[in-house]
Amino acid sequence: MRNNNDDDDNTLSDIRVLDLTGGVGEYTAKLYAHIGADVIHVEPVTGDPLRNKGPFYKDLVDENGGMEFLYCNIGKKSLALDLSDGEGKKILKKLCKTADVLIESFSPGHMDDLGLGYETLAKINPKLVYAAITPFGQTGPYRDYPFSDLTLMALGGFLFLAGNENEKPVRACGEQAFQMGAAYAAMGSMIALYHARHTGEGQFIDVSMQACVATALENAIQWYDLQGVNRRNVGYEAGLGVYRCQDGFVCVVAAFGRTRAMWENFLNWIERDGAENLDELRNEKWFEPEYRKTDEARSEFKKRFEEYSAKRTKAHLYDESMKNRCVVFPVSDGKDIFENAQFNYRDFFKTIHHPAIDADVYFPAYGFEMSGLDVEIKTPAPTKGQHSFELLEELGYTESDIEGLLKGGAVYGAK
């Protein structure tokens, strides 16, 4: 039984993915689990380092309780394997014969050094799609340099945009350089898998996280190329951006270029809802984006709007703006997202029971939905080596072979 979801009807359950990532790129193979593919997380016998990263479930430090690990590994199997060991290498090679896609995020050249590089594995399985996520790619002057999410965001040009004028920038939450690498590895490996299914030809996909980050610069490169300007944050303008309200902050878009109707509609709505002293904002000059960008305009709008918004909640402003065809959204924190009516209406959040920590793991379930594919993930993130035994049996190892491998340390797992 290869399908992790015990769902024989699922047409994509014959895709097998080997997930060798650790810490960076674990979301890639999660997307495959989401469509019902058979995903095997090959982790070190000492455990995936992501297991040790907080926050933890109920704040209890536990190798099965790390939230990011729990999230990224839902629906995956675990095979704990020592790839520096000769027997471990043999097992991986056998497994590659059965696989369609391999994802890894080791340093460039690490798999080659182990004797498990793409060229070797492609000889075993020419159809194999092999995606490698690295900080700077497999070649080039930065190839072997150390990295972190922050430095990749900086070198990828993204960090510069998250600041006004000459202020220092802030970093996007959630290690987005790593997430961007994972996202592109998912797209690239899927496109290559489609190619492999049609032609029998597998290939290597080199994903550079720095380059991934550099795809997310909006129009900054073109600002420089076409107008010689190094832009930073957009929306440093009256009527655009974040304003204080009674219980936090809201994000407002009341102006767009010279669009008169939008501004007037906005003022009319807040006035009906009790805003006062808006006459100044109805002056002709407010339709000029250049005026709205001045310090004077920004502080004037802020003062007038916040006099009104200070007595209204995020929820009130969101609901009422929608009814009045204006655009005011909550600046959500984790609690707001948890309580959001739309997400809950759509059953976006699910729980799955995890016996090892005896808890119902809560998670955002899906970023896309397919009408023709009925996959419900029924298994939580695996414990370390949870599926080692059954996978080795599938590869033809006998019970006594497996006992020997466990004792010898090439494999970790329990029957």
Partner 1 sequence: MAQNDLPLKDITVCDFSWVGAGPIATNILGQLGADIIKIESRSKPEVLRHGYPFKDGKPGIERSGYFANRNPNKRSISLNMTMPEARDVVVRLIKKSDIVINNFRAGQMEKWNLGYEDVKKINKDVIYVTMSIQGDDGPQSHSAGFGVTLNALVGFTYLTADPDGEPFGTGTSYTDHIAVPSHTVFGIMAALLHRDKTGEGQRVEVPQAQAAICLKPLDVMDYAVNKRIQQPLGVRDPNAAPHGVYKVSGYKKWISIAVFSDNQWCTLKKAMGNPDWAEEDMFGTTQGRLDNQDLLDRKIEEWTMIQDGTELQYRLMGSGVPAGMVQDARAMIEDPQLAQHDFWAYLDHKEVGLTLYNRVPMKFSKTPAMMKTAAPLLGEHTQDVLTDFLEYSDAEFETMKAKKIFD
Site residues for partner 1, 114-143, by CB under 8 A, read: 118, 136-142
Binding mask 45-64 for partner 1 (x = CB under 8 A): --------xxx-xxx-----
Among 83, 172, 275, 402, binds partner 1 (CB under 8 A): 172
Among 39, 81, 91, 159, binds partner 1 (CB under 8 A): 159
Decide whether 254 or 402 has the Cβ nearer to partner 1: 254
Region near partner 1 per CB under 8 A, out of 18-26, 179-187, 269-277, 393-401:
179-187
For position 168 contacting partner 1 by CB under 8 A, the verdict is yes
**Shortest approach of partner 1 to residue 69 CB, angstroms?**
11
Name residues contacting partner 1, limited to 85-114 (CB under 8 A): none
**Shortest approach of partner 1 to residue 397 CB, angstroms?**
31
For position 233 contacting partner 1 by CB under 8 A, the verdict is yes
For position 203 contacting partner 1 by CB under 8 A, the verdict is yes
For position 395 contacting partner 1 by CB under 8 A, the verdict is no
Name residues contacting partner 1, limited to 206-225 (CB under 8 A): 206-208, 210-212, 214-225
- 302 token code pair: 């802020």
Region near partner 1 per CB under 8 A, out of 76-84, 108-116, 238-246, 376-384:
238-246
Region near partner 1 per CB under 8 A, out of 83-91, 183-191, 264-272, 407-415:
183-191
CB atoms within 10 A of CB 49: 14
Cα–Cα distance between 387 and 191 in angstroms, integer?
Answer: 28
**Shortest approach of partner 1 to residue 285 CB, angstroms?**
20
Cα–Cα distance between 348 and 14 in angstroms, integer?
Answer: 27
Name residues contacting partner 1, limited to 307-336 (CB under 8 A): 322, 325, 327-336
Cα–Cα distance between 321 and 308 in angstroms, integer?
Answer: 13
* 37 Cβ neighbours under 8 A, 6+ residues apart: 12, 13, 15, 16, 17
Phi-psi domain of 401 (left: phi exceeds 0; alpha: psi -120 through 50; beta: other): alpha
Cα–Cα distance between 175 and 24 in angstroms, integer?
Answer: 9
Name residues contacting partner 1, limited to 240-259 (CB under 8 A): 240-242, 244, 249-251, 253, 257
Decide whether 257 or 396 has the Cβ nearer to partner 1: 257
The DSSP annotation for 313-360 comes to -HHHHHHHHHHTT-EEEE---HHHHHH-HHHHHTT-EEEEEEGGGTEE
**Shortest approach of partner 1 to residue 80 CB, angstroms?**
24
Name residues contacting partner 1, limited to 351-380 (CB under 8 A): 359, 362-364, 366-373
The radius of gyration computed from the CA coordinates of the chain, to the nearest angstrom, equals 26
- 59 token code pair: 């704040």
Burial 208-243 (b: 16+ CB within 10 A, else e): bbbbbbbebbeebeeeeeeeeeebbeeeebbbbbeb
**Shortest approach of partner 1 to residue 347 CB, angstroms?**
10
User: Do 106 and 133 form a contact (C-beta atoms < 8 A)?
Assistant: no
